[in-house]
Amino acid sequence: MIRTLVRDPLAHFLLAGAAIWGALALIGDPVDPASRMIELSRERQAGIALGFERMMGRPPTDAEMDAAIARWVREEVLYREALRLGIDQGDAVVRRRLATKMDELAGAEAEVVRPSDAVLERWLADNAENYAAGGAVSFAQAFFPNEKAAREALGAMQPEGTPISLPKSVEAMELTEIEAVFGREFASGLASLSTGEAWQGPVRSGFGWHLVRLDRRTAGRVSDLESIRDRLEADWRSATIAERRKRAYEVLRAAYSVEVE
């Protein structure tokens, strides 16, 4: 177990994060809201210039650099005053933003890495049903606005869903069309269902949750890597980021005990 963690990049991220937060706890907030002295180091100026260049595609002129520094100083003044007044305490927006930032850190590496052909080939093999061309399915669906309502209706012979502008049943619809009508998440969910008379699910879509009766499925031809490389890479990256965020939270959550009164 320990050897596995040592080799895991996610574990490195978590250990580094713990060290950073531990250091901050020992030395305190690096920004002293009571201080009236703002020091703009050469490193900070270089960072401001780099940010401008990334946004505009060119280095800033002297006048633009002066304006960028003035904006930074204004933001720093307001930031310190907000800390001094304790505005950050108990602010739901700040709390949510910090939580989101931690999530982003966990998946940051996967956002920029370029997966190798071997990784994409493995992903394609493991998820071949999502990339089959020419295959079609026939099914009926009942829509529910939340998962709880869908699960409660699962045992019914004919689930009564909520009306929505989606077809209640489709005949021999190809995967690409299903994605266009119901969304990619729903189309992927169909791949895990078996044909038969029983209602299954819930299957999630961008609209909500669905119970599905899968009547027929005809297999299609799996596309080759080169023809769907961009889609494969996007799907792999999205799934990898979600998995890393999930694992990071599980590791962090294990360190806490929660009492609900």
> Span 120-149, mean pLDDT?
86
Beta bridge partners of 222: 132
Structural Rg of the chain based on CA atoms: 25
The Cα 10–Cα 12 span in angstroms is 5
Question: Tokens in use for 196?
Answer: 């038969």
Q: Are 95 and 185 spatial neighbours (Cβ–Cβ below 8 Å)?
A: no
- By the 10 Å C-beta count (0-12 exposed, 13-18 middle, 19+ buried), 214 is classed as buried
- Helix, strand or coil, per DSSP, at residue 209: strand
Domains and CATH numbers, the chain: 2-112 (no CATH), 133-221 (3.10.50.40)
The Cα 106–Cα 246 span in angstroms is 9
The Cα 49–Cα 148 span in angstroms is 51
CA angle, 215 as apex, 213 and 218 as ends, to 5°? 130
Structure confidence by residue, pLDDT tens digits, 222-256: 777 888 888 889 889 888 988 888 888 888 888 87
What pTM did the predictor assign? Answer: 0.47
Per-residue HEC secondary structure of 221-252 comes to EECCCHHHHHHHHHHHHHHHHHHHHHHHHHHH
| 98: enclosing H helix or E strand | helix 92-112
The Cα 235–Cα 168 span in angstroms is 28
Structure confidence by residue, pLDDT tens digits, 7-39: 454 544 454 454 444 433 333 345 665 677 888
Give the pLDDT band (50/70/90) at residue 112: confident
3-state helix, strand, coil in the chain (%, to 5): 55, 15, 30
